[in-house]
Amino acid sequence: MEDLLVDRDLWDAVDEKVHRPMDPILATQYDVMNRKAKGLIRLCLSNSILINVHEESTSEKLWKILGQIYQ
């Protein structure tokens, strides 16, 4: 999954070292990237896992929860 996010230039959305920019234009771009990353991650999850994480609001939170489940 990490490789897929990197390949699609979406890794920054789940990387806890990267924060949402303050600049409105860059923040909008970040929000779009976040939605794409969250959608891509969800598409790769089985329904039995998705039901437990479907309410996470950001891709970073979703990624963190999945990391806790699988590590």
- The per-residue pLDDT of the chain, averaged, comes to 95
pTM: 0.91
Calculated CA dihedral for residues 46, 49, 54, 58, nearest 10 degrees: -100
pLDDT higher than threshold 90 for residue 6: yes
What distance in Å separates the CA atoms of residue 7 and residue 57, rounded to the nearest whole number?
A: 23
Read off the pLDDT of residues 11-20 as tens digits, 9 standing for 90 and up: 999 999 999 9
Ranking 2-6, 39-43, 66-70 by mean pLDDT, the lowest is: 66-70
Locate the domains of the chain by residue range: 2-70
Q: Are residues 41 and 64 in contact, defined by beta-carbon separation less than 8 angstroms?
A: no
Residue 70 binned pLDDT confidence (cut-offs 50, 70, 90) = confident
For residues 42 and 65, what is the distance between their CA atoms, to the nearest angstrom?
12
Task: Say which residues have a Cβ less than 8 Å from residue 57's Cβ, sequence separation at least 6.
Answer: none
CA atoms of 1 and 41, how far apart (whole Å): 7
